[in-house]
Structure 1
Amino acid sequence: MTPTHEHPSDGTERARLAPALARAAARLAEAGVASPRVDAELLAAHALGVGRGRLLLIDTVRGNELRRFTELVEERARRIPLQHLLGTAAFRHLELEVGDGVFVPRPETELLAGWGVERTAPGATVVDLCSGTGAIALSIADEAEPGLVIAVERAPAALEYLRRNAAAFGVVRVVEGDVTDPGLLAEYRGRVDVLLCNPPYVPDGTAVPAEVAEHDPAEAVFGGADGLAVIRPVIALAASLLRPGGTVGIEHDDVHGAEVPGLVRADGRFADVVAHRDLAGRPRFATARRR
């Protein structure tokens, strides 16, 4: 993507944006990026400091802007996650800080967060386990009127992002803890209204995209040989923490469409177990009510 130079040394030379975008999209497609045109446009908008929608109004860019755009495209072609290059990930109505060491929230998790928002009554106590960036917890704080949202995370790097993202929400309490510890949040036993969790659930050895394999922390992705190593203790913890009538929602891998609802039923302390699919029709999360 070589600009047309007029003053090569001072960054004021101009180049047309449309051909640069086309070349960038082709480069990303060649590299195997799933959404090359969208990614190219988002990277261009980031390099130019404008919203993506304003690109249609821009005909030419400065040489230094084009060089920055080209650098970003090459990094994306190496399968560095788009969100890491932008520094943020969009989730429902939020822009969350992301980077190395924290799991990038996925669009399909917005469905579980929305389910939780709908079930959070004013003043409710909500727990988000395996919180990561805080995507679910902060969506609850942003869209509902909870009295308290407890966001639990174990990994030190992820906790840094969680604390920064949660700083604007006074109702959110960040807790460092391991969700497989049956004594976690013991002071809230029987007092929680809504419990949500997007745990690591990909079975060990499953092939994943380069962005996931090389940049998402493995402990936030993989959940043991069958993918259920974290989900099993989370179900037991949910039963301990929820008040009678409280609700739980747990995201899972699309291969767990029968297993996770079955595990929730087998616990014996839940009723109204429901399996939910994502927008692509794949099994995605299970919900239930505490007896």
Structure 2
Amino acid sequence: MPSLSSSASPYDSVVTALRAAGCVFAEDEARLLLDAAPGPDELAAMVDRRATGVPLELVVGWAEFRGLRIAVEPGVFVPRRRTEFLVEQALAQVPDATVVVDLCCGSGAVGAALADALPGAELVAADIDPAAVRCASRNVAPFGGQAHAGDLYAALPGRLRGRIGILAANVPYVPSDEVALLPAEAREHEPLVALDGGGDGLDVLRRVVAEAPDWLAPGGCLFVETSERQAPTAVETFARGGLAARVVVSEEWYANVVIGVRS
């Protein structure tokens, strides 16, 4: 395990240790670790955790998402920067949304980012994992949001039925037999329930689509991220569920978002 040099500057010492551990962005990570560590002992412990493969976000306790610092905790899915594209699409499609739901919310990053851009909107987040709900509660509270535990729509207050303008569902979409191919940071430090989407990766998506028309307001939209390979099947699923569907793609973020509109 890399150790910090007592002769080099703290920054150079951390960079060297991170490089030795194979961290590609050692310089950037070193700055974040130095900023987060209260003292040298804590810094050494944080560098050791990062060197053993713990995601940087879990080491420092937060992830940046659309300009926000989103608190993250061990055992909670770390928000991906590419999912900012989903948020951008939701805001472009429903810029006047007054009710926002972040389903399969994980840390609540998507909901927090949407609420940050939609002052006054009612925000509810939900996840089946109690650890995620605890974390999301911290992140949505500054926007007046609430987080609930439960299986998809079962977690939502009944008063939201037929009123949701933006329904963002960052569902797990990795096919079960491909989970083992994910980077170790995801496999070893993030909950399986947030990664494994079943046989073809779309099991949870199908369940979300099946009930979405009952919860969306007229003109309300469902936004789901998928892989490029899954997008055509996802669009068909949306259409069978009664939603007018299309795919938007970001080459920059390598992101694919399926948008479904309730008529």
TM-score calculated relative to the size of structure 2: 0.88
Match of residue 39, structure 1, among 29, 52, 65: 29
1:164 alignment partner AA = R
What is the aligned partner in structure 2 of residue 105 from structure 1? 79
Residue 270 (str. 1) matches residue 263 (str. 2): no
CA contact (8 A) 1:96 1:135 kept: yes
Give CA deviations for 1:142-164 in whole Å, capped at 9, x if unaligned. 11134311211121111111112
Structure ID, larger Rg: 1
What is the aligned partner in structure 2 of residue 59 from structure 1? none
**Using the alignment, how far apart are the partners of 1:152 and 1:264 within structure 2?**
21
1:228 alignment partner AA = L
Residue 191 (str. 1) matches residue 163 (str. 2): yes
CA RMSD, 1 decimal: 2.2
Structure 1 169/111 Cα, relative in aligned 2: closer, same or farther at 3 Å? same
**Using the alignment, how far apart are the partners of 1:76 and 1:278 within structure 2?**
30
Residue 173 (str. 1) matches residue 165 (str. 2): no
What is the aligned partner in structure 2 of residue 77 from structure 1? 51
**Using the alignment, how far apart are the partners of 1:83 and 1:283 within structure 2?**
21
Q: Secondary structure at the match of 2:21?
A: helix
CA contact (8 A) 1:120 1:194 kept: yes
Give CA deviations for 1:223-255 in whole Å, capped at 9, x if unaligned. 111111100010112122112221121112343
Give CA deviations for 1:71-115 in whole Å, capped at 9, x if unaligned. 322211110111111011111121111111211101011111122
Structure 1 123/196 Cα, relative in aligned 2: closer, same or farther at 3 Å? closer
Residue 253 (str. 1) matches residue 246 (str. 2): no
What is the aligned partner in structure 2 of residue 161 from structure 1? 135
What is the aligned partner in structure 2 of residue 151 from structure 1? 125
CA contact (8 A) 2:90 2:166 kept: yes
**Alpha-carbon distance, 1:16 to partner:** 2.1
Give CA deviations for 1:19-51 in whole Å, capped at 9, x if unaligned. 32441242132xxx343332233223323x6xx
Q: Secondary structure at the match of 1:251?
A: strand
Match of residue 6, structure 2, among 3, 15, 19: 3
Structure 1 152/68 Cα, relative in aligned 2: closer, same or farther at 3 Å? closer
Task: Structure 1 unaligned segments of length 5 or more: list them.
Answer: 5-14, 50-63
**Using the alignment, how far apart are the partners of 1:176 and 1:134 within structure 2?**
12
**Using the alignment, how far apart are the partners of 2:197 and 2:108 within structure 1?**
19
Query: What is the aligned length?
Result: 258
**Alpha-carbon distance, 1:287 to partner:** 0.6
CA contact (8 A) 1:120 1:144 kept: no
Higher-helix-fraction structure: 2
What is the aligned partner in structure 2 of residue 60 from structure 1? none
**Using the alignment, how far apart are the partners of 1:22 and 1:82 within structure 2?**
14
**Using the alignment, how far apart are the partners of 1:232 and 1:109 within structure 2?**
20
What is the aligned partner in structure 1 of residue 104 from structure 2? 130
1:116 alignment partner AA = A
Q: Secondary structure at the match of 1:222?
A: coil
Residue 289 (str. 1) matches residue 235 (str. 2): no
**Using the alignment, how far apart are the partners of 2:46 and 2:20 within structure 1?**
12
What is the aligned partner in structure 1 of residue 69 from structure 2? 95
CA contact (8 A) 2:14 2:47 kept: no
**Using the alignment, how far apart are the partners of 1:280 and 1:118 within structure 2?**
18
Structure 1 275/98 Cα, relative in aligned 2: closer, same or farther at 3 Å? same
**Alpha-carbon distance, 1:281 to partner:** 6.2
What is the aligned partner in structure 2 of residue 223 from structure 1? 197
2:126 alignment partner AA = V
Task: Structure 2 unaligned segments of length 5 or more: list them.
Answer: none
**Using the alignment, how far apart are the partners of 1:69 and 1:228 within structure 2?**
41
Structure 1 18/93 Cα, relative in aligned 2: closer, same or farther at 3 Å? closer
Q: Secondary structure at the match of 1:96?
A: strand
